[in-house]
Amino acid sequence: MTTIDFTKYPKPRSRRHVSPNQYLPKDRIRIDLEYYPPLIPSIAWNEHFLNAQAPQYLDIGCGMGRFLLETALAEPKKNILGLEVREYAANWIRSVIQGERPHGVLGNAETLWYSVANGLPFITDASVEKIFYFFPDPWFKKRHHYRRAFTPAFLDECARVLKPEGTFYLMTDVPDVDAYQRETLRQHDVFDFEECPDDASWGLIQRTDQEDFSLRKNIPYVRVKCWKK
Ligand SMILES: C[S@@+](CC[C@H](N)C(=O)[O-])C[C@H]1O[C@@H](n2cnc3c(N)ncnc32)[C@H](O)[C@@H]1O
């Protein structure tokens, strides 16, 4: 498989979080914001993927994109779209994609600076095979929970865009987030779900940056697969 020489793409200095407003849907913000990820009511896929087709995979909160880029290389026939609220991260991934396309790879990868708090209006119903939602920011304090993207409305959007046989993948190393997500899934009854205790039941080979960090530091994490009811 092709590999990318990442030394060609120096990573920007990371800032931990963006303005709290960016985790809210735009229509719930009362002040005028100069800096907010653009809303995307609709999209022309020919401007994003070489084959001009819609994505089969979504990586929501893709961070610095290791999983996205490696999955795109491993599965060149699948388009994968990353959505990321941190602009510098989305820009960096795009710089890798633009830099590699002349070498004949990553025509199937794209990342957008976007807050998923605004739903997925630019994704057609029942069009996506896999949604990845990996290591979301935990927002431990109760008064910050509103910043978590994993809400009943978010589950409805994921269920809407997934194909009937599609899979929604979750990973987290934070027990409180795992419990919160399972409780939200139970109460908002649109997905069945199952914990994957081993690699075989999980079925994904590529790793995220955060997963790699957990593995290196021996931090346990939980993997859950969800299917539409
Ligand atoms: C802890 S990082 C994990 C990144 C990656 N998934 C991984 O596993 O390495 C969580 C990411 O989700 C992004 N994020 C948080 N809220 C978001 C939102 N509302 N819309 C899009 N991305 C969001 C954060 O900016 C951050 O990059």
Question: What value does the mean pLDDT of the chain take?
Answer: 95
CA of 82 relative to ligand 1 center, distance in Å? 10
- Residue 19 has a pLDDT of 81
Of the listed ranges 84-88, 139-143, 154-158, 222-226, the least confidently predicted one is 139-143
Say what the pLDDT of residue 14 is.
72
- What is the Cα gyration radius of the chain? 17
Query: Whole-structure pTM over 0.85, yes or no?
Result: yes
Number of Cβ within a 10 Å radius of residue 32:
6
Closest CA to 169 of 121, 203, 209: 203
CA 85 – ligand 1 centroid, Å: 7
Q: Report the C-alpha dihedral over residues 82, 83, 84, 89, rounded to 10 degrees.
A: 30
What's the pLDDT tens digit per position in 140-196? 898 988 889 999 999 999 999 999 999 999 999 999 999 999 999 999 999 999 999
Which atom number of ligand 1 is nearest to the Cα of residue 23?
19
Domain 41-228 matching CATH 3.40.50.150: the answer reads yes
Local structure of 211: helix, strand or coil:
helix
